[in-house]
Amino acid sequence: MDRWIDETVGALFYPIITWPSPWMDTIPEWMKERVPLDRLAHLMLCSKGEADIDEATDLEVLMYMYPLTLEHSIDREWTEIYLYLTWKVMGDKVPEDIRHTQLTKDQERDLRQLKQWIKAKQRKAFKEKKKEGRRQEQTQRKEQRATQQTLFE
């Protein structure tokens, strides 16, 4: 039960992991705004056994790859994965001539590995942020106590 609670909190608060690039700032706002909803929908699929709780969503992988594709060329296999994700996220808005609706077994494996890697990075970053927040709170409490003691001496 605790894991589901953690993942629900994560769906709302996990950071978005992207390829580190100046192009990160060009990720469309509609994608960023849609992330929590996609994460919650993914959790529902996980609860039915239709998705893996240790994987990021298609949208999150697309957002990770977006700045990468603007900065570097990618090989054919990853281009097909990128076009597949674009179709999964955007549906019929993707022109038919570039629509990629299936992956090979190797591409599915590579995509799964990237989804797992992104999810692990999200969890780690979230835990580190929580730890940092606790450290800051402790430091503030110590400073407050020191100030209070000074006032009453």
Helix (H, G, I), strand (E, B) or coil at 57: coil
The answer to whether the beta carbons of residues 111 and 104 sit under 8 Å apart is no
Low-confidence ranges of the chain (pLDDT < 70): 1, 133, 135, 141-153
Distances in Å between the Cα of 103 and the Cα atoms of 3, 63, 69, 90 are 31, 19, 19, 17
Q: What pLDDT was estimated at residue 138?
A: 72
CB 115 within 8 A of CB 99: no
Give the residue among 106, 65, 71, 67 at the shortest CA–CA distance from 83: 65
Question: What is the predicted pLDDT for the residue at 145?
Answer: 63
pLDDT (tens digit per residue) in 50-71? 999 999 999 999 999 999 999 9
Cα distance between residue 2 and residue 126, in whole Å = 16
